[in-house]
Chains A and B, each alone.
Chain A
Amino acid sequence: MRAMWTVFRREFAAYFATPIAFVFLGVYLLAMGAFTFYVGRFFDTGVADLTIFFSYHPWLYLFLIPALAMRLWAEEKRSGSIELLLTLPLPVWATVLGKYLAAWAFAGVALILTFPIWLTVNYLGSPDNGIILAAYVGSFLMAGAYLAIGAAISAATSSQVIAFVVSVVVCFLFTATGAPLVTESLSGWAPLPLVEAVASFSFLSHFRAITDGVIDLRDMVFFFSLIGLFLFANMLLVETSKGG
């Protein structure tokens, strides 16, 4: 536990030791704002809720989270510090988890910094803050799932660019399977269970269920098992890299 905490602290501090943290937070908040207010026409809806704001999260995460995850392992491989890290007496699970949780905590900081929009809707009307809280939890879980994918892919390469591009593609697959484009094109001919099975792998379906205000156990299990699966893959990738 202590080993994981040590890795976590170093990794979390590393985001803030370079301009990465501030560039990321700046772009994140700008993008969130731009999509909500300009593209989503937040004020024109005349409704005091954050549905529009949250509806852009999956699509923004698609690019922002791989950008956060790409350095986790690829950078260590490129600089050679991976050799130091793996010869220190740290269990591999602690290193993998510590790095992952640091990135997730950083994504959480970015998400919390969107609080002005929550203040705005509460100033303009009286939204259901329970639903908003549920959506924030859902968004954080979804960010964690994207991150787990990105971290595992970062462990498979020493190039941050490759890690980013491949992560975006894989994350897109996990997002788009629930988009109307895919579900509607399938529902024309495929049997219903198949359509539902494909859609059930989508972050969109699970995230939408949560933003409706219901934190269902099934959606939690989905996100947590996906995170677990990719962290396990991450561990295997680190272990096999020792094989040469």
Chain B
Amino acid sequence: MLEIESLTKRFDAVTAVAGLSLTVKPGEVLGFLGPNGAGKTTTMKMATGYLIPDGGTVRVCGHDIVTDTLAAQKRLGYLPEGAPAYGEMTPREFLTFICRVRGLWGGAARAARDVAVGHTGLGPVLDRPIETLSKGFRRRVGLAQAILHDPEVLIMDEPTDGLDPNQKHTVRELIRTIAPTKTIVISTHLLEEVEAICTRAVVIDRGRIVADGTPKELMLQSPSGKLDDLFRGLTTAEDEAA
């Protein structure tokens, strides 16, 4: 369960997120849509405790991310934008490190790592330094890291960015497999992705929610019945907004 209430973040004069409220329940896969600069990433950074909001609250399974940070972060899996990792480590070392941070040791750590590696297909590159891996594999290292501890809430910033069509398909299958018991939020530019895996889509523009519903409902709102026409109608391109 992820509860966001009137979340606000300003950077100098720019309001990146403006009083955004959103509740995501277990079993939901929420697609977070919006043009670049709409506030998707900033919202995710606040929801995971990387940025402190200027106003509003975020609760992860009832734990406030600002006042009860560690308890909230324990229940979260997060794939930050660009899937950062420690380049000099191998995926095996990296995932072992994440296991320890997550309080998984010995057999439990090995089991968790094997499951995550199986889901993400990292087997062939397990012992190569992450910095030498292709973009697709690096993204999958980030995914493996996010799902390692079987979190209740999973937040992923563009999980399929930079993947080829086969890899995209694998990641979507993975999300579908784990979705029924989890609360999942993914941000994406790809409207086809929303249609493929999301049970709910939220469109944001300039830090505000401008549409919220199932992908089907949103398509019905569009005159042409296509999601991307609705998207264009609702949101302002960055250069126009500026």
Contacts and interface: CB of A to CB of B under 8 A. Distances in A.
Interface string B33-48: 0000000000001001
B52 interface: yes
Interface in B40-93: 45, 48-52, 69-71, 73-74, 76, 78, 80-82, 84-89, 93
Contacts of A82: 84
Contacts of A80: 80-82, 84
A179 to B, nearest CB: 39
B98 interface: yes
Interface size class of B (residues with CB under 8 A): 20 to 34
Contacts of B73: 87-89
B89 A17 contact: yes
B11 A81 contact: no
Consensus secondary structure, chain A interface: helix
A86 B49 contact: yes
Interface in B1-50: 9, 11, 45, 48-50
Nearest to B73: A89
B100 interface: yes
A242 B70 contact: no
B70 A83 contact: no
B51 A89 contact: no
Given A89-B102, A243-B52, A84 B74 contact: no
Contacts of A6: 97, 100-101
A6 B97 CA distance: 7
A10 B78 contact: no
B11 A244 contact: yes
Given A90-B101, A244-B11, A81 B84 contact: yes
A190 interface: no
B52 A242 contact: yes
B88 A242 contact: no
Contacts of A13: 93
Interface of B: 9, 11, 45, 48-52, 69-71, 73-74, 76, 78, 80-82, 84-89, 93, 97-98, 100-103, 129, 145
Given A9-B100, A87-B78, A88-B98, 18 more contacts: A10-B97, A13-B93, A18-B88, A80-B81, A80-B84, A81-B84, A81-B85, A84-B84, A86-B49, A87-B49, A87-B50, A88-B73, A88-B101, A88-B102, A89-B101, A89-B102, A242-B50, A244-B9
